[in-house]
Copies of this chain bind each other. A is one copy, B any other.
Amino acid sequence: MRADGTIGNALYGNPDGHGKRSRAASLALRGRSMVSKKVATSGFERSASMAFKTITVKTENEQQMIDITQQVRLVVRESGVKSGVCRIFIPHTTAAVTINENADPNVRRDILTRLEQVAPSDGTYLHTEGNSHAHIKSSLVGSSVSVFVEAGQLVLGTWQSVFLCDFDGPRTRNVMVRVSDG
């Protein structure tokens, strides 16, 4: 639920359709847009030691892994939860969320390249919208992750960051974050 009280289609309506731009000519795995990505937060709600918030991320490549750890850390801090769990959920069927190395951007490129070999974006599929590869990658990587919260902080390994994976961008993607002491 957002701060304005809306939920459902108003918030998540057609999450795989809006914000879609014309498909660029080639698969962009370069991740060069990391610098210019725009991340906005909205819809904050807090009750006792709990927070539910939707982060909006504008992706800029067809396939891209964007580090959203700082945005997630902010939600954890605002939640007031000292010890608990932070869950991240992607309400899209051609995107995913994963935790992996944040140091060398080549790791992200290698992940996207191998996923592309498993499900090529120019492969043959029954689904005729041209993004079946993205649906497949979404189920392989997964739509949610959980990270522990201790001492009011997200508990990640030194090299770990949380990444939104957009397999059918560029689009405006929603990332739902829930922090609780449960």
**A interface, CB within 8 angstroms of B:** 1, 7-9, 12-16, 47, 50, 52, 83, 85, 87, 89, 91-93, 98-101, 104, 106-107, 109-111, 113-114, 117-119, 125-129, 132, 135-136, 138-148, 150-151, 153, 155-160, 174, 176, 178, 180-182
What residues of B have a CB within 8 angstroms of the CB of A128 in the complex?
A: 106
What residues of B have a CB within 8 angstroms of the CB of A176 in the complex?
A: 148, 155
Q: Closest residue of chain B to A47, judged by CB?
A: B83
Contact indicator A159/B118 (Cβ below 8 Å): no
Contact indicator B160/A91 (Cβ below 8 Å): yes
Contact indicator A158/B14 (Cβ below 8 Å): yes
Contact indicator B135/A1 (Cβ below 8 Å): no
A-B contact pairs, 16 of them (CB 8 A): A7-B150, A14-B158, A15-B157, A52-B83, A87-B148, A89-B146, A92-B160, A98-B142, A99-B139, A107-B135, A113-B125, A113-B126, A114-B119, A143-B145, A146-B146, A157-B174
